[in-house]
């Protein structure tokens, strides 16, 4: 089987075709795309193909601006490029502006040596300490981002405390956290934390992930061996978030991701002028594992996503920092106290 090179890297050919207003996607390339990502369509095959075709053109046009230095990030073709994010990436069966059901503690417990923002002279990348597990892929049909960000935050804080990383099961949370969370139809990080506090959580290897919600296979343990409370930052303050990430560890955050720039993100520091920051607009949970400043002096958040390693920078995103709370990154940060 051929690779996706005709789609992904033959930029000059694609540019030529765009200028001629010709179709970019051959039958063979469409079949290769579907085969690569195990896509199976029947009556709506043409619809998804046309979506991918349009997005290839959008990527080419955007990357032309990137090459001219007019934007700070690249876009590319991903597993999600033929999907309608307005349908697939919203909370299905949940009210349009659902209230945050639990906020936990709201006061940051500052450990000894805690540095204030103005005392922090460089960024942090918790991956370098061995506290961050591998990037996983939630799939295009399961809205389980909340489970990955919650389990990722907890396993990172446990690894920091015990100097040993044990990957935890997002699938356990998808199957077992009760309503208001709805498994593959969406959920809240706070309710995942509350469930883990009350019932514990399996390891990833004992309860592996698949792309659908199933029956809960977990026998609860009491009391929880992991943590007692979690913290929610309520100040919409990027400086406070940076302090917590630097001094305490990774933080689960929710962002507004329903934008072509996010779905097609490939590399660089993402900045979306139309991104929103109100809590009611935040539909995707991710994990902030660090922050920094690039060689050009541009501040960024380092974020672990759950779209697999072919998305973004090996599964990670650099999001503009100190940019008016870009995409709501500081609107609903949460982390466990272990």
Q: Please pick, among 184, 275, 284, 325, the residue that the annotation labels catalytic.
A: 284
Is residue 320 within 8 A of residue 298, CB to CB? The reply is yes
Q: Please pick, among 137, 181, 305, 325, the residue that the annotation labels catalytic.
A: 305
User: With the CA atoms of 9, 11, 17 and 22 taken in that order, what torsion angle do they form, in degrees rounded to the nearest 10?
Assistant: 40
CB atoms inside a 10 Å sphere around CB 111: 8
Q: How far apart are CA 63 and CA 70, in angstroms?
A: 10
Residue 284 is among the residues annotated as catalytic for this protein: yes
Q: Please pick, among 142, 145, 275, 327, the residue that the annotation labels catalytic.
A: 145
Burial of 320 (0-12, 13-18, 19+ CB in 10 A): buried
> In the numeric block, which tokens belong to residue 288?
């902030």
Q: How far apart are CA 287 and CA 61, in angstroms?
A: 30
Residue 215 is among the residues annotated as catalytic for this protein: no
Residue 145 is among the residues annotated as catalytic for this protein: yes
Q: CA neighbours within 13 Å on the CB side: how many for 18?
A: 18
The catalytic residue positions are 145, 284, 305
């Amino acid at each position: 089987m051929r690779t996706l090179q005709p789609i992904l890297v033959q930029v000059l050919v694609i540019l030529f075709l765009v200028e001629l207003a010709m179709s970019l996607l051959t039958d063979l390339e469409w079949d290769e795309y579907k085969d690569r990502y195990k896509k199976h369509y029947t009556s709506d095959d043409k619809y998804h193909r046309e979506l991918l075709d349009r997005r290839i053109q959008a990527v080419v046009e955007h990357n032309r601006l990137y090459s001219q230095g007019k934007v700070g990030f690249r876009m590319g073709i991903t597993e999600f490029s033929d999907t309608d994010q307005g349908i697939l990436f919203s909370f299905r069966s949940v009210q349009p502006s659902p209230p945050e059901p639990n906020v936990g503690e709201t006061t940051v417990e500052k450990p000894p040596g805690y540095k204030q923002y103005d005392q922090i002279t460089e960024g942090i990348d918790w991956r370098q300490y061995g506290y961050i597990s591998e990037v996983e892929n939630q799939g295009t049909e399961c809205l389980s981002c909340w489970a990955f960000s919650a389990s990722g935050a907890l396993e990172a804080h446990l690894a920091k405390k015990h100097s040993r990383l044990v990957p935890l099961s997002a699938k356990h949370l998808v199957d077992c956290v009760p309503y208001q969370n709805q498994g593959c139809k969406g959920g809240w990080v706070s309710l995942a934390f509350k469930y883990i506090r009350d019932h514990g959580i399996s390891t990833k290897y004992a309860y592996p992930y698949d792309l659908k919600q199933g029956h809960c296979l977990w026998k609860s343990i009491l009391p929880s061996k992991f943590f007692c409370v979690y913290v929610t930052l309520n100040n919409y303050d990027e400086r406070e978030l940076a302090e917590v990430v630097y001094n305490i560890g990774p933080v689960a955050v929710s962002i507004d991701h329903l934008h072509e720039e996010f779905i097609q993100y490939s590399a660089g520091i993402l900045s979306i002028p139309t991104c929103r920051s109100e809590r009611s607009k935040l539909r995707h949970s991710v994990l902030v594992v660090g922050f920094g400043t690039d060689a050009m002096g541009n501040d960024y958040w380092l974020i672990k996503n759950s779209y697999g390693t072919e998305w973004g920078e090996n599964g990670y995103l650099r999001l503009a920092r100190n940019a008016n709370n870009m995409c709501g990154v500081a609107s609903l940060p949460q982390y466990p106290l272990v």
